[in-house]
Amino acid sequence: MKTALITGGNSGIGKETAKALVARGWQVLIAARDAAKSRALVESVRTSHPGAQIDWLSVDLSDFSGIEAFAAEVSHRLPVIDALVLNAGLYTRRLTTNRTGIEMMFATTHLGHFLLTHHLLDKVRASSDGRIVVSSSVAHWMGGQMDLDTLRQPSGSQFLQLVPFQAYGRSKLANMLFVRELARRLQGTSIKVNGFHPGGIKSDFWRDTPGWVTASVDPFLVSEAVGAKTQIHLASHEGLTTTGEYWSGRKVRRGSAANRDPALARKLWRYSEEVFGITDYGRPVSASTPTQMKAG
């Protein structure tokens, strides 16, 4: 039986991916902040698929101090991870910071997943056909050249929501740069690492966006089931050989020039390792030794 961990797996395209993999006979573990929503989804799936192997765990990816313990519990439940689906993300109308003082969208969407993958990479290596699937967005075009200097002093400006949208774009560009560099580092292994744009989705994502934004994009939004198709394909399609690419509509796309910049990917990687004091990515020192985060 194949196995998957899906962050943000209790809503949106994460929920649809979880349901689809269960229907294909996979064992699925969903991870999200909202325990009540996760519990409800698991109960619903078990009702519609008696005997379904699906369960949930709570995690807050913006709280780096809890990720190692969470990863240890995942490792106990899933000694082999065939698909690590890094789907969780968020948009905030006002720029805030997490407990360590890093802008919240970047902390959750990129750094939390970076640290989680560090702790779970050996479980993906244990699969004969491991996949790491990262939910990015066409918004990565707004990420510029990956401004890392303002992560600890995010702007207070909310002018037409342009500043928060740019920060969101930065987090999604970070997703793709992570995909590119991780795939490069895993060359010669069986693991395929890919990122994708799901399309504009009719989901809870838009609850925090201004009304004018919601009204302007609504005619172009697609269902969560349609948006999940590329994610499901990258996680489960037999014979997938592509790695290190940006996908949309189940096809490889070029995306922005910045998302294809290897120097920028290496710059982000070095920054991310320095935040956590990681010296050998994917090989944690020990499960009992907390990751030491550096300030600055």
Do 22 and 232 touch, CB atoms closer than 8 A?
A: no
pLDDT at 229: 97
pLDDT at 280: 97
The one-letter code for the residue type at 92 is T
pLDDT at 107: 97
pLDDT tens sequence for the chain (296 residues): 999 999 999 999 999 999 999 999 999 999 999 999 999 999 999 999 999 999 999 999 999 999 999 999 999 999 999 999 999 999 988 899 999 999 999 999 999 999 999 999 999 999 999 999 999 999 898 888 888 888 887 876 654 457 888 899 999 999 999 999 999 999 999 999 999 999 877 666 556 665 655 665 655 678 899 999 999 999 999 999 999 999 999 999 999 999 999 999 999 999 999 999 999 999 998 644 444 444 33
pLDDT at 32: 97
Half-sphere exposure of 91 (CA within 13 A, CB side): 22
H/E stretch holding 120: helix 113-125
Pair type for strands 245-248 and 251-253: antiparallel
pLDDT at 130: 98
Q: How far apart are CA 291 and CA 278, in angstroms?
A: 8
Do 192 and 241 touch, CB atoms closer than 8 A?
A: yes
In angstroms and rounded to an integer, the radius of gyration of the C-alpha atoms of the chain is 18
pLDDT at 34: 96
pLDDT at 40: 98
Q: How many other C-beta atoms lie within 10 A of the C-beta of residue 150?
A: 15
pLDDT at 285: 84
Cα separations (Å) of 282 from 8, 50, 286? 22, 36, 11
Active site residues: 168
